[in-house]
C-alpha cells in the first residue's frame, strides 16, 4: 500500500521514502486513469530509478506498459548493453524507436555532421518520439526529468500535457493541488508524466545507493580518450574525432548524465563507487545538464523551445 505523499513526511518517513511514495502514487494514478502508457527508458540513471519504482508499484505482476527508448544511433555502447540486458532480466517489452529510421523515411533531415562542432541528432529525437507515440497510440509517457535539471523543466508540472502536435505550453498547465492529477485527454492529446520531478540529482544518487541499483559503468570513474572542446570533455568515438588544434588525452572521467555521445560531456573524477559519487555530487553547485550537455547551451531557452516542439 502506498502512503499518500501529502502525509508521507508527517508519517515519519525519510525524505527518500517520501519521494518514493509520491512517485509510486503517480505511476499507479497513470495506470488507473490512462489506457496506453509507456515508460521512456534510456539506460540512464533517472530511468533506472523509474524502473525500480515501477517494480515497487506493480510487481509481482507485469508492468502495465512497455519500455521505450528513442535511439539516436550515437549512444555509449555500455549504456545500450545495459538497456537491453536490464529489459530482458525484467522480462518486459522494449520498443526501440530509431532516429535513423525517421531519417531514412524522409521525416527529418540528419542533424549530425561530423565536420561541424556541436552537431547531433538530439533535435531529431522529437519527431521519432512523436511517431512512436502515434504508431503505438500511447496516451502517456513516463519520463525521468527533474525540476532541478534545467529552468524549463522547473516550470513543468508532474503531468505535462501535450497538444495534438506534441507541443507543450507552459502557460496552459493544470493545477495539481493536494496531489490530485487530472488525466483527462481530448482526442490526439497525450501527457508526459514525471514521477521523480521533485527529486534532486543527489536524491537520485542516494536512492541508487540505498537500493543498491546497478548502473552502466560510465557513471563511475574510468580512463577514456577525450578531447577538450568549448569547455567540455568529449569522448573520442567513430562519431566524434579530434579536429585541428585538438589533442587527445587519456583522463580519469565519469558521466553525470547519459545522452547522445556527440553532445554529452564527461567530468574529471576519481569517484569509483556509489559512496564516492554521492560525496562528489553533494559538493557540486552545477547541475548535470548545465555542466555536461551542449544542447542546453545553445540559448537560455533551448530546452523550452524544444519542449514546445514536442521534446521530452
Cα four-point dihedral sign 171, 173, 176, 177: positive
Mean pLDDT of 267-296: 81
Q: Are residues 182 and 227 in the same domain?
A: no
Structural domain boundaries, residue 33: 14-204+301-308
Distances (CA, A) of 211 to 28, 187, 274: 20, 39, 11
Q: Are residues 149 and 221 in the same domain?
A: no
Q: Is residue 236 part of a domain?
A: yes
The CATH number for 124's domain is 3.40.50.620
Mean pLDDT of 8-25: 82
Give the DSSP letter string of 85-128: HHHHHHT--EEEEEHHHHHHTTSS-----TTSTT--STTTHHHH
Q: Are residues 226 and 104 in the same domain?
A: no
Q: Are residues 164 and 236 in the same domain?
A: no
Q: Are residues 46 and 161 in the same domain?
A: yes
What average pLDDT does the chain have? 87
Mean pLDDT of 9-28: 86
Q: Are residues 92 and 117 in the same domain?
A: yes
C-alpha cell read off for 197: 520531478
Q: Are residues 195 and 220 in the same domain?
A: no
Q: Is residue 5 part of a domain?
A: no
Q: Are residues 56 and 35 in the same domain?
A: yes
Distances (CA, A) of 4 to 7, 181, 300: 5, 13, 37
Q: Are residues 243 and 192 in the same domain?
A: no
Q: Are residues 48 and 177 in the same domain?
A: yes
Q: Are residues 76 and 104 in the same domain?
A: yes
**pLDDT tens track for 184-206:** 877 878 889 999 999 999 999 99
Q: For 66-75, 144-153, 265-274, which range has the lowest pLDDT when averaged over its residues?
A: 144-153
**Is residue 296's pLDDT more than 70?**
no
Q: Is residue 2 part of a domain?
A: no
Q: Are residues 34 and 155 in the same domain?
A: yes
In b/e form, how buried is each residue of 41-62, taking b as 16+ CB within 10 angstroms? bbbbbbbbbbbebbeebbeeee
What is the count of structural domains for the chain?
2
Amino acid at each position: 500500500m502506498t502512503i499518500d505523499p501529502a502525509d508521507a513526511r508527517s508519517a515519519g518517513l525519510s525524505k527518500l521514502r517520501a519521494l518514493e511514495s509520491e512517485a509510486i502514487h503517480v505511476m499507479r494514478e497513470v495506470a488507473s486513469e490512462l489506457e496506453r502508457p509507456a515508460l521512456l527508458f534510456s539506460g540512464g540513471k533517472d530511468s533506472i530509478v523509474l524502473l525500480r519504482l515501477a517494480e515497487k508499484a506493480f510487481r509481482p505482476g507485469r508492468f502495465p506498459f512497455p519500455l521505450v527508448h528513442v535511439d539516436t544511433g550515437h549512444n555509449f555502447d555500455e549504456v545500450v548493453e545495459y538497456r537491453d540486458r536490464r529489459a530482458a532480466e525484467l522480462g518486459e517489452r522494449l520498443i526501440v524507436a530509431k532516429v535513423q529510421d525517421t531519417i531514412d523515411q524522409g521525416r527529418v533531415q540528419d542533424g549530425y555532421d561530423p565536420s561541424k562542432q556541436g552537431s547531433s541528432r538530439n533535435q531529431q529525437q522529437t519527431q521519432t518520439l512523436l511517431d512512436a507515440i502515434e504508431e503505438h497510440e500511447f496516451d502517456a509517457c513516463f519520463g525521468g526529468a527533474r525540476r532541478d535539471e534545467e529552468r524549463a523543466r522547473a516550470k513543468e508540472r508532474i503531468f505535462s500535457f501535450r497538444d495534438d502536435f506534441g507541443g507543450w505550453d507552459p502557460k496552459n498547465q493544470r493545477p495539481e493541488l493536494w496531489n490530485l492529477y487530472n488525466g483527462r485527454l481530448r482526442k490526439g492529446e497525450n501527457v508526459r508524466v514525471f514521477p521523480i520531478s521533485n527529486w534532486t540529482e543527489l536524491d537520485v544518487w542516494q536512492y541508487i545507493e540505498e537500493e543498491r541499483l546497478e548502473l552502466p559503468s560510465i557513471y563511475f570513474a574510468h580512463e577514456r580518450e577525450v578531447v577538450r572542446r568549448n569547455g567540455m570533455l568529449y569522448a573520442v568515438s567513430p562519431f566524434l574525432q579530434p579536429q585541428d588544434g585538438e589533442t587527445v588525452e587519456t583522463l580519469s572521467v565519469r558521466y553525470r548524465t547519459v545522452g547522445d555521445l556527440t553532445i554529452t560531456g564527461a567530468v574529471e573524477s576519481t569517484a569509483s563507487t556509489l559512496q564516492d559519487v554521492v560525496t562528489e555530487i553533494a559538493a557540486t553547485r552545477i547541475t548535470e545538464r548545465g555542466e555536461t550537455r551542449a544542447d542546453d547551451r545553445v540559448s537560455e531557452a533551448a530546452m523550452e523551445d524544444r519542449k514546445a516542439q514536442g521534446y521530452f
